Structure 1
Amino acid sequence: MTALETKLQDCFILEPKIFEDHRGYFFESFNQNQFNSLTNTNARFVQDNESFSTKGVLRGLHYQTGEHAQAKLVRVIQGRVLDVAVDLRAGSPTFSQYVAVELTETNKKQLFIPRGFAHGFVVLSDTAIFSYKCDNFYNKESEGGIIYNDPTLCIDWQLAESSLIVSEKDLALPTLEAAKL
């Protein structure tokens, strides 16, 4: 596995070594020791989540605050998504900047999103199965979010706004300026 630094400090794209032959493929999707060495973190994942979505579904931008903040390691099992991480760390030189990475069942890339970031994704294929590890347990009272079309972030979700499918809950999220970080 290799780790590629993004423009956001501590946020990495991970690319596995894939072994393919006439039978199919094999790759190691996660190795705790290798992961910690490549990302220079001590993250220990305690919860795995999976979602199934159809084309145009946009989930995000979500985060957890305080002692319940979460780092995430995300990947696509089936399909293709545009995955977005936004730096919300106070004092960070890249505060309010984002990175967008296409994760697919073919490229098998993963994105490591450290604590202090908002996260979201949009499905670009007909369907997608999205999987992510979290280093802290979900806590409803600590959840926060930013509206996906925040004018200060200017995220290009690669789909027409009219084709996006966003939950009522996510449509009610505040702008970055109004969010409780």
Structure 2
Amino acid sequence: MDSLSIPGAWLHTPQIHADARGSFIEAFRAAEVAAATGHRMELAQVNCSVSVNGVLRGIHFADVPPGQAKYVMCVSGAILDVVVDLRVGSPTFLRWESVRLDEESRRGLYIAEGLGHAFLVLSEQATVTYLCSTPYTPSREHGVHAFDPTIGVEWPIRDTALLSERDAAQPTVKELMEAGALPVYSECQAFYASLR
């Protein structure tokens, strides 16, 4: 797995075995994730979303602890997947990085607890699966508005992006900071250490 510029995010590019029948990959290997992160990823839930072109989901994050680590794959179509460092006190606080995930490369993205996650559908339709370390718990789930200028994600579309009502109403980073609702880097580091 290759680390991104944001600590806690890794990209896995699998070897694709193809022949006349089609192709086969090892989409997720727990040992590779453990080698990169320093701990095994507990698997508590698998999510699957199907979205049309222009759908923008996120930026989502969960309270740490326990947070929610994700391993994200686009199994059909193509998405622009975005990771945002929302951990107050992190050396890369508010940095974002984008990666194209698609059915051709079959790449997967690991996103540690405390990081924000979003994606934009680039193809006509996309199916995205997420392996999650904890189950969905509404009271611990939060979001930041995807178009917050403080973060400044360079989405390829903006005016025509399709957001849920919930995502369209998400607060800004400034509002979350004032409310003390963002993850704290030192607390995230302590949580990661507890997983080892």
Q: Which structure carries more helix by proportion?
A: 2
Aligned residues: 178
Asked whether the equivalents of residues 14 and 110 of structure 1 are also in contact (C-alpha less than 8 Å), the reply is: yes
Task: Give the letter aligned to residue 115 of structure 2.
Answer: F
Asked whether the equivalents of residues 2 and 11 of structure 2 are also in contact (C-alpha less than 8 Å), the reply is: yes
In the other structure, the counterpart of 2:149 is 151
Asked whether the equivalents of residues 63 and 116 of structure 1 are also in contact (C-alpha less than 8 Å), the reply is: yes
Please say if 1:129 is aligned against 2:131.
no
Q: Match of 1:163, SS?
A: coil
Task: Give the letter aligned to residue 117 of structure 2.
Answer: H
Task: Give the letter aligned to residue 163 of structure 1.
Answer: T
Asked whether the equivalents of residues 11 and 112 of structure 1 are also in contact (C-alpha less than 8 Å), the reply is: yes
Q: Partners in 2 of 1:140 and 1:42 — Cα distance? A: 25
Give 1:10 deviation, angstroms.
2.0
In the other structure, the counterpart of 1:171 is 168
Of 24, 35, 46, 2:33 maps to 35
Task: Give the letter aligned to residue 166 of structure 1.
Answer: L
In the other structure, the counterpart of 2:49 is 51
Asked whether the equivalents of residues 85 and 120 of structure 1 are also in contact (C-alpha less than 8 Å), the reply is: yes
Task: Give the letter aligned to residue 172 of structure 2.
Answer: T
TM-score when scaled to structure 2? 0.87
Q: Match of 1:83, SS?
A: strand
Of 91, 113, 117, 1:115 maps to 113
Q: Percent identity?
A: 36
Single out whichever of 39-48 and 68-77 deviates more from structure 2: 39-48
Q: Match of 1:122, SS?
A: strand
Deviations 1:75-126 (CA, angstroms, capped at 9, x unpaired): 1010000001111122210011111001001111111100011111010000
Q: Which runs of 5+ in 1 are unaligned?
A: none
Of 90, 93, 97, 1:92 maps to 90
Give 1:140 deviation, angstroms.
0.7
Q: Partners in 1 of 2:77 and 2:167 — Cα distance? A: 22
Please say if 1:6 is aligned against 2:8.
no
Of 48, 69, 72, 2:70 maps to 72
Of 23, 26, 34, 2:24 maps to 26
Q: Once superposed, what is the RMSD of the aligned Cα atoms?
A: 1.1
Q: Partners in 2 of 1:38 and 1:115 — Cα distance? A: 14
Q: Partners in 2 of 1:14 and 1:30 — Cα distance? A: 8
TM-score when scaled to structure 1? 0.94
Q: Partners in 1 of 2:137 and 2:174 — Cα distance? A: 23
Asked whether the equivalents of residues 70 and 136 of structure 1 are also in contact (C-alpha less than 8 Å), the reply is: yes
Q: Partners in 2 of 1:89 and 1:72 — Cα distance? A: 16
Deviations 1:151-179 (CA, angstroms, capped at 9, x unpaired): 111101112x2210111111110011112
